[in-house]
Amino acid sequence: MPSNIPFIEFKHVDKKYEDRVIFNNLSFNINKGDFITLTGTSGGGKTTFLRMINGMVIPDKGEILINQEAINKQDILALRRNIGYAIQGSGLFPHMTIKQNMLYVPELSLDWNDAQKNARVLELLDIVSLDNTVLSRFPDELSGGQQQRVSIARALAANPDILLMDEPFGALDSETRTQLQDSIKSIQQRLGVTIVFITHDEIEARLLGTRSFELVDGHLTAKN
């Protein structure tokens, strides 16, 4: 369940690209356990908003805090480990097996032995409802829906508190999309992870979000 303690805080954030203003004095709070869905016109700045949370885009002014600490004061590897990121089209590394893809983030910074890695991979398969026959395969040997499940598993691998999802189901057929919507909803309820989810689909936004927002002219307007 969402709490009322601000977990991710945007404080007076400005961001522009060259002379194009995307955000001007944006302040916004996300609570722990929120499932935020974000819609809005193309090019409005949704991806920019998401990427400011994991430090991939740096604001020109203002600050972003996670757990009451400014992200530019936090260790970047620890920050990224704590923030899973899943994008449309899965973003899996094509030359790595599914198992290697799933373990990518933990391998960067966690000193797990083989038994710990194998145990985590099995937990992740269970979380995203895949069986272990996929592990030795490469991404192009899986269906689009399976690839997207692996992408979610990879984003969850290091047990992050936050999951950022940028139109993750945009390229899937409607049946697969419905299955993955059910999955992400139950994953969120089971793990209590805080999710920020971008979508173009209003129905998806309403279905998944505990709080839904539309980004218009750099402002986030609540829709429910």
Ligand X SMILES: Nc1ncnc2c1ncn2[C@@H]1O[C@H](COP(=O)(O)OP(=O)(O)OP(=O)(O)O)[C@@H](O)[C@H]1O
Binding site for ligand X (CB under 6 A): 17, 22, 40, 42-48
CB of 125: closest distance to ligand X in angstroms? 30
Minimum CB distance to ligand X smaller for 13 or for 22? 22
CB of 151: closest distance to ligand X in angstroms? 17
CB of 160: closest distance to ligand X in angstroms? 21
Minimum CB distance to ligand X smaller for 42 or for 174? 42
CB of 202: closest distance to ligand X in angstroms? 14
Minimum CB distance to ligand X smaller for 17 or for 93? 17
Minimum CB distance to ligand X smaller for 16 or for 185? 16
List Cβ neighbours of 63 (8 Å cut-off, separation of 6 or more).
11, 12, 13, 70, 71, 72
User: Nearest Cα to 216, choosing from 53, 43, 18?
Assistant: 43
CB of 122: closest distance to ligand X in angstroms? 35
Minimum CB distance to ligand X smaller for 48 or for 146? 48
Minimum CB distance to ligand X smaller for 48 or for 188? 48
CB of 40: closest distance to ligand X in angstroms? 6
Cβ-defined contacts of 13-19 (< 8 Å, 24+): 13/52, 13/59, 13/61, 13/62, 13/63, 13/64, 14/59, 14/60, 14/61, 14/62, 15/45, 15/48, 15/52, 15/57, 15/59, 15/60, 16/60
Q: At what angle do helices 114-127 and 174-191 cross, to 10 degrees?
A: 120
Q: What are phi and psi of 184, to 5 degrees?
A: -70, -35
Q: Find out whether 135 and 99 touch, Cβ atoms under 8 Å.
A: yes
